[in-house]
Amino acid sequence: MKYIETILAQIGNRRDLRTGAVEAPIYLSTAYQHPTLGQSTGYDYSRTANPTREIVEEAITTLEKGIKGFACSSGMAAIHLVFSLFKKNDEILISEDIYGGSYRLFQHLENSYQIKPTYAETDQFEKYINANTKAIFIETPTNPLLLEIDIKKIASIAKKHNLLLIVDNTFYTPYLQQPLEEGANIVLHSATKYLGGHNDVLAGLVVVNNQQLADKLVYLHNAIGAVLSPLDSMLLIRGMKTLSLRMEKQQENAQHLVDFLKNEKNIRDVLYPGKGGMISFRVTSADIIPSFLENLKVISFAESLGGCREFYYLSFYANTCRYSKRRAREKRDL
């Protein structure tokens, strides 16, 4: 995107024309007074709309080149909002390697609401499409194997079969990838990660590419109520302003680490798609893991990513990757 650095830096600037405040205020009010009967300021209740939250929603809509954005209370709340579009007996085709938290939610939706997830390798997707299939859901790159998926290729399959294409863009952000431009219908983020960038805010974002989807999600967003708070909205606005600077430095640091790991005798292989700040690697023996971790002085053992601190976690032991533990061992010899 042209001038993306400027767009990011200007998020929320000069929104308060009455006072001239250069940064957007935090509107904590939960209710808004109506001028008189039949008149409105455009706001009535903060779950439905909030001026601070709207800045985030407008910003991510611009960055992803969509029609309408939605700010949710977490990345999982964002996925839940999108999957609320579906009903009993609908089937969703999902790429094999996904974040364990998403898998946990999909299990719940299947067990409680009979919305069925079908997992497949992306090159086998068309074999699994049937009359009940309503959408395709992918992460790219995937978590934790960091496999890049060709969005345009999957979009052509989705269009051919009249399916929605939903893309989780958490790892690349709109700074590196804009799925709607490549044919996706819905893009979502755990904004807790790179977009927030400071490990101090839980947030999820959704952007859609057409008005029909926007209208449905406006209703669901208000009805479900898992909206981003005003204070968290302000923290996210602050974080997004420096996204371009952070992504560039994180990529640079990641490449240095990849080069280092590739020359270590105890590292079996390094999984890195060539951009972004996430790295996965496999060791030659599980026996070396304790001593390896004990010698880390700066990197913290924690389950998140995308912030200003370096984290590590073990995919097969972290709660976030329970699904990947079983599936990846079957499919990837991990």
Residues acting as catalytic residues: 47, 99, 168, 193
As a dihedral over the C-alpha atoms of residue 217, residue 220, residue 222, residue 223, rounded to 10 degrees, the angle is 170
Tokens 């079969």, residue? 161
Are the CB atoms for 1 and 174 separated by under 8 Å? yes
Enclosing H/E stretch for 175:
helix 173-176
Q: What is the DSSP string of 209-271?
A: SSHHHHHHHHHHHHHH--BPPHHHHHHHHHHHHTHHHHHHHHHHHHHHHHHHHHT-TTEEEEE
Residues 6+ apart with CB under 8 A from 172: 140, 141, 275, 276
Whose CA is closest to 109, among 136, 78, 80?
Answer: 80
Largest Cα–Cα distance in the chain? 75
E strands present in the chain: 68-72, 91-95, 116-120, 133-139, 164-168, 186-190, 204-208, 267-271, 280-283, 300-301, 311-312
The DSSP secondary-structure symbol of 45 reads B
3-state secondary structure of 306: coil
Joined tokens for residue 28: 């904590």
Q: Burial of 103 by CB count in 10 Å (0-12 exposed, 13-18 middle, 19+ buried)?
A: buried
Would you say the C-alpha torsion 188, 323, 300, 288 has a positive or negative sign?
A: negative
Are the CB atoms for 34 and 40 separated by under 8 Å? yes
